[in-house]
Amino acid sequence: MELITSLFPWITNGPLIAVQVMSGLSVGMFLFLISVGMSLIFGVTRIVNLAHGSFYMVSAYFMVTLIEVMPERALSFWIALLLAPVGVAILGGVIEVTLLRRIYRRDPMMQLILTFGLILVIGTLVLLVWGPDNKSVPRPDALAGSVRIFGQPFPSYYLLVLGLSPLVAVGLWLVFYRTRWGMLVRAATVDREMLGALGVNVSRLYTQVFVFGSWLAGLGGALAAPTVAVALGMDADVLINAFVVVVIGGLGSFAGSLISALLVGELQSFGILIFPAVSIVLLFAIMAVVLIVRPWGLLGRPEE
Amino acid sequence: MALLEVAHVHTFYGDSHILADLSLDVAEGEVVCLLGRNGAGKSTTLKSIVGVAPPRSGRITLRGQELAGLPPFRVAQLGIGYVPEDRRVFPNLTVHENLEVARRTWAHTGGDGATELWTEDVLFDLFPILRERRRQLGGTLSGGEQQMLTIARTLMGNPDILLLDEPSEGLAPLVVEMLREQLGRLKASGLTMVLTEQNIRFVSELGDRVYILEKGAVRYQGSMAEFLADETVRQAYLAV
Ligand SMILES: Nc1ncnc2c1ncn2[C@@H]1O[C@H](COP(=O)(O)OP(=O)(O)OP(=O)(O)O)[C@@H](O)[C@H]1O
Ligand SMILES: [Mg+2]
């Protein structure tokens, strides 16, 4: 016990732990938004969209530009927060209709090559439009400072994320479990052919799902923009994390994404306290263990 | 005029020629049975009609409107209901949700199915067990309950014609008996049906007309009464 407290002095520091838990929750929430979209798209279309992180990045850049062009400082952040994800959703829709639609029946390798190609194309376009320098998105005035929680400073912007997250999670749950569209989506994850034979236009449903998933990535990117340097490497970082979350939680599982995103968020938050370099290793170690014990993820379904 | 007409249809799976010049027709209100041994092409015939296994050539028309070449969802919207042989309820959806996803939300085109005959409530009267299971996941139902659910689900689209692929397969005798009685009530309601079966007893009272398939073509057709009276036909095409 003494050894532990000497190695990890913070372990007896209750307030610090509480703050760490909260910041882990906020990180987990960003991860949830991104991974649930990716998982949804995979569940229905069976495409692993590697460009999902690029959508997140594009949304952050949209935030940069939208806030720049809007004169009204007080409201600009909030308007941009609404518009940026919509812009990304439209982008996703265009990509689905023009490109992805053609490859649903192809070899999964082809699909990976296409979505990987999209990463490069989108990355290059972002470089051309916004240039190589890092950008930043200012936090809205009301949330620019920090508040004290158990005597510890905590950035008030994260309170927004923490407040919004349960709303988003509940909203998604309602969409999936209480609307007819959600029923169609869940039915499509198990048997598209049957759904089509019942008169449902499945290819239109695919487009809608892709647009919705892209919107979620956009929402994650827009919300995360003020907490990070908006930079070209964002897409890869977030893709890796989202991928880990989706694999741990189970591809196509809504609850799985939520639980595993929060788990990974906390892990990163505490990993930094314990031993920064270890946290990423720990992440992959957990993913490996899950893959060995339950290859289909915590709450996923085994493939037939 | 026939409600559904299949004329000179050829269907392939890859290079294998499965349906070879198959023709049949179904009149309004009629129950037509497709019989034949394993592999005769009964399921493929239904799949060709609904567009799951689209024919390479030939015509398939519903009230004169061409169906061949349309995607399955369009065929369903035009009024063809299909219950596949492997049942395929959505296991992760409740009974109510299974019905709800199949509810007709498109404008009806032609035919007298224009009135919404089948609603969840009406179907629960026909299959009372489903009402009890309303909140249960499809995957937790017994085989017989799943078969009733798939039939009810397809009827939610208010089709003009119902295609049923071996509805009695793999069910316990008591359940088969119950299903036969329920299909009898569907027939009495005026619903046009096409049934494939191996079990002649199951369809002998239900069916009006019989087609016997062998190697993907029609080898015999006649009324149910003629067919039942003709021992040699049964010997030639159905006995194993
Ligand atoms: N997906 C497929 N690919 C290739 N061949 C197939 C496929 N499905 C069926 N066949 C072949 O097509 C032929 C007709 O099959 P079909 O399923 O239509 O027969 P069936 O009359 O329904 O038989 P059963 O009574 O066993 O259901 C069979 O020889 C079968 O092996
Ligand atoms: Mg069959």
Identify the CATH number of the domain in which residue A212 sits: 1.10.3470
Q: pLDDT band for position A270 (50/70/90)?
A: confident
CB A297 within 8 A of CB A249: yes
Of A214 and A266, the structure prediction assigns the larger pLDDT to A214
In the block, tokens 């893709």 appear at: A239
**Out of A69-73, B120-124, B188-192, B213-217, least confident range:** A69-73
pLDDT at B41 over 50: yes
Domain count, chain B: 1
- Give the pLDDT score at A152: 80
Is the residue at A271 inside a domain? Answer: yes
Question: Which residue's alpha carbon is at the smallest distance from atom 22 of ligand 1?
Answer: B43
Which residues of chain B from 39 to 68 reach within 8 Å of chain A, CB to CB? 50, 52
Q: Closest partner residue to A183 among B76, B100, B156, by Cβ?
A: B100
- Give the pLDDT score at A26: 87
CB A192 within 8 A of CB B86: no
- Give the pLDDT score at A218: 96
Distances from the Cα of A290 to the Cαs of A199, A269, B127, in angstroms? 38, 20, 43
Rounded-to-integer distance, Cα A126 and Cα A117, Å? 14
Q: At what angle do helices A202-224 and A52-69 cross, to 10 degrees?
A: 60
Q: Closest partner residue to B77 among A180, A187, A199, by Cβ?
A: A199
Max CA pair span of chain A? 67
Mean pLDDT in residue range A206-216: 96
- Give the pLDDT score at B12: 94
> Chain B: residue nearest A184 by CA?
B101
Chain centroid to CA A20: 20
Domain count, chain A: 1
pTM above 0.90, yes or no: no
Identify the CATH number of the domain in which residue B229 sits: 3.40.50.300
Is the residue at A3 inside a domain? Answer: no
Query: B91: exposed, middle or buried (C-beta count within 10 Å: 0-12, 13-18, 19+)?
Result: middle
Distances from the Cα of B93 to the Cαs of A198, B56, B96, B140, in angstroms? 15, 35, 8, 10
Among A174, A167, A217, CA closest to A39: A217
Q: Three-class SS string for A158-205?
A: HHHHHHHHHHHHHHHHHHHHHCHHHHHHHHHHHCHHHHHHCCCCHHHH
Tokens of A190: 């198990």
Q: pLDDT band for position A7 (50/70/90)?
A: low
- Which domain, by its residues, includes A119? 19-293
Question: pLDDT per residue over B178-216, tens digit each?
Answer: 999 999 999 999 999 999 998 888 888 899 999 999 999
Which residues on adjacent β-strands are paired with residue A153? A148
Q: At what angle do helices A52-69 and A108-130 cross, to 10 degrees?
A: 20
pLDDT at A271 over 90: no
Among B61, B38, B39, CA closest to B48: B61
Rounded-to-integer distance, Cα A49 and Cα A38, Å? 7
Number of H helices, E strands in chain B: 10, 10
CB B37 within 8 A of CB B238: yes
- Give the pLDDT score at B95: 97
Quote the ligand 2 centre to B43 CA distance (angstroms): 4
Tokens of A134: 């890092």
- Give the pLDDT score at A304: 46
Question: Which residue's alpha carbon is at the smallest distance from atom 24 of ligand 1?
Answer: B38
Rounded-to-integer distance, Cα A297 and Cα A264, Å? 14
CB A47 within 8 A of CB A180: no
Is the residue at A299 inside a domain? Answer: no
CA distance, residue A247 to nearest chain B CA (Å): 20
pLDDT at B240 over 60: no
| ipTM of model | 0.92
Question: pLDDT per residue over B9-21, tens digit each?
Answer: 999 999 999 999 9
Say if the Cβ atoms of A197 and B101 lie within 8 Å.
no
Q: pLDDT band for position B111 (50/70/90)?
A: low
Question: pLDDT per residue over A80-135, tens digit each?
Answer: 999 999 999 999 999 999 999 998 888 889 889 999 999 999 999 999 999 999 99
- Give the pLDDT score at A216: 95
Q: Where are the alpha helices (DSSP H) in chain B?
A: 42-50, 72-77, 95-101, 120-126, 128-132, 143-155, 173-188, 200-204, 224-229, 231-237
Distances from the Cα of A286 to the Cαs of A237, A266, B15, B55, B139, in angstroms? 18, 13, 47, 50, 31
Which residues on adjacent β-strands are paired with residue B214? B217
**Mean pLDDT of chain A, nearest integer:** 88
Q: At what angle do helices A254-274 and A276-293 cross, to 10 degrees?
A: 150
Is the residue at A224 inside a domain? Answer: yes
CA distance, residue B209 to nearest chain A CA (Å): 26
- Give the pLDDT score at B87: 81
Quote the ligand 1 centre to B227 CA distance (angstroms): 24
- Which domain, by its residues, includes B45? 4-237
pLDDT at B114 over 60: no
Sign of the alpha-carbon dihedral angle for B129, B135, B139, B140: negative
Which of A184, A195, A198, A254 has the highest number of chain B CBs within 10 A, making it the mutation to test binding with B? A198
pLDDT at A17 over 90: no
> Chain B: residue nearest A204 by CA?
B73
Ramachandran region, residue B223 (left: φ > 0; alpha: ψ -120 to 50; beta: rest):
beta
Chain centroid to CA A302: 23
Q: DSSP letters along A95-116, please?
A: HHHHTGGGGTTS-HHHHHHHHH
